[in-house]
Amino acid sequence: MLTNEARAFVKQWSESLLDLGPVLTGTNNTVSMGEIRSLYNRMLAQNPAPAGITFEHVVIGGVSGQVAIPDVLKTDAIVVYIHGGAYIVGGPDGYHGISGNLAKMMGAKVFLPDYRLAPEHPFPASIDDTLRFYKGLLDAGHPASKIVFAGESAGGAMTVTVMVAARNAGVPLPAGGVAISPWANLEHTGISMTNREGIDPLNSKTGLVFLASVFLEGALPNHPMASPVFADVTGLPPIMVQMGEAELMLTDGMRLATHLAENRVRMTLEVWPHMFHAWHFVADLQPEAQQAMESAALFLEQCLRKAEK
């Protein structure tokens, strides 16, 4: 079950976006999207990086971002961490906790692309930017076999869709990826969208449908580059999907795992009882969050070792 500290953070997380819908619909003109995004990042930043991690600004492939650098580097392999936020909010400043934990656990640099956000830049801008960032790393001399992806929510979906985009463009694929609570099906047809309503402390189906419409701006929700459950995933490297049992996206995340497996992608599915959407944020507050981070790091390390052979 959740600790009191984790429960309090989740409540604050949920409340941090109360103005988002009214601002997007134009019924609240007193707050700007920039202010909402800054507030959201400051809220997430309450989960700090562990000691021994520094952050630097980077521009890779023409896309801004940050890199988390551990004091003790154990490898020249790197992680590309793709942040979530419904393609509308979120940014590297709010992700020092997750990226810093990964960097320290793996002894590796973790890069965070600061991709463009909707509604100013709707689908597929976020995917295009993240692919450019990845290609920029390759152009800078980082072999694909020494790169892995990770991301949560929208970033969990992009962990898969950016791989699909890279494959379609003839770009070498990374060694593997971890999709945390992926927002994998923008049709929202999984049964957990119904039977976890009111149990999920962060999301509602009505809210997710609205946010998806803002991101898609007229594109179909079953577009394969928006919903990876509909994508051609053949030939992708090993992928881990981690889901919280209490989240609305549970069934659709499990559908993504099945879709990968049925298309001969080596995959691992973890479902964590009682955990909420992207519980990894509270690694300092919830034992299961720390354990899930460790499991993700181990999986990525195994992908990198296999790619070396």
Q: 15 phi and psi, to 5 degrees?
A: -75, -20
| Among 152, 247, 270, 288, the one annotated catalytic | 247
88 secondary structure, DSSP code: T
Question: Is 187 an active-site residue?
Answer: no
- For 232-280, the DSSP string reads --TT---EEEEEETTSTTHHHHHHHHHHHHHTT--EEEEEETT--TTGG
Reading the block at residue 131, the tokens are 């692919």
Using DSSP bridges, classify how beta strands 63-70 and 53-60 pair: parallel, antiparallel or unpaired: antiparallel
Where would I find the beta strands (DSSP E) of 74-205? 78-82, 109-113, 147-152, 176-180
288, with CB counted inside 10 A (0-12, 13-18, 19+), is buried
| Among 277, 280, 288, 301, the one annotated catalytic | 277
- The CA dihedral of 222, 225, 228, 232, to the nearest 10 degrees, is 100
Question: Is 15 an active-site residue?
Answer: no
Question: Is 153 an active-site residue?
Answer: yes
Q: How many CB atoms lie within 10 A of CB 244?
A: 28
| Among 153, 181, 192, 227, the one annotated catalytic | 153
Catalytic (active-site) positions: 153, 247, 277
